[in-house]
Amino acid sequence: QVQLAESGGGLVQPGGSLRLSCAASGSIFINMGWYRQAPGKQRDLVASITRGGSPNYADSVKGRFTISRDNALNTVYLQMNSLKPEDTATYYCTSDTMTPPRTYWGQGTQVTVSS
């Protein structure tokens, strides 16, 4: 049974930093990543990373966010620096399995950037 456990969200002032973590279990995961959804908006990709460590970022977070993973721990991280109010959203972890091919979602963690 695949499970994803997210942690690290919270309230931070503009310009601050947060680190999100997502521990996955129950399978071997190829791509892992983070999406976010603000109230009234669609859910968008923030960043993803292959099992080999190749990252991909949304233009809005390039240079501020860094995604990484530890394959031994099946954990993906999102280091968020220079946070802006527009980064406020619920952040969801995703993990892809190969057999069967499927994307799993975490329960979401709230990130609020406000003074």
pLDDT tens digits, one per residue of 29-57: 999 999 999 999 999 999 999 999 999 99
As a three-state string, the secondary structure of 3-64 is: EEEEECCEEECCCCCEEEEEEEECCCEEEEEEEEECCCCCCEEEEEECCCCCEEECHHHCCC
90 strand-pairing partners? 37, 110
Distances, alpha carbon 71 to alpha carbons 17, 30, 43, in Å: 24, 10, 26
How many angstroms separate the first and last alpha carbons of the chain? Answer: 40
The pLDDT value recorded for residue 82 is 98
Q: How much is the pLDDT for 87?
A: 98
Strand-pairing partners, residue 69, are 76
pLDDT score recorded for residue 28: 87
Query: Mind listing the pLDDT tens digit of every residue in the chain (115 residues)?
Result: 899 999 999 999 999 999 999 999 998 899 999 999 999 999 999 999 999 999 999 999 999 999 999 999 999 999 999 999 999 999 999 999 988 899 999 999 999 999 9
Q: Are 44 and 36 in contact (CB under 8 A)?
A: yes
Tokens of 41: 């908006």
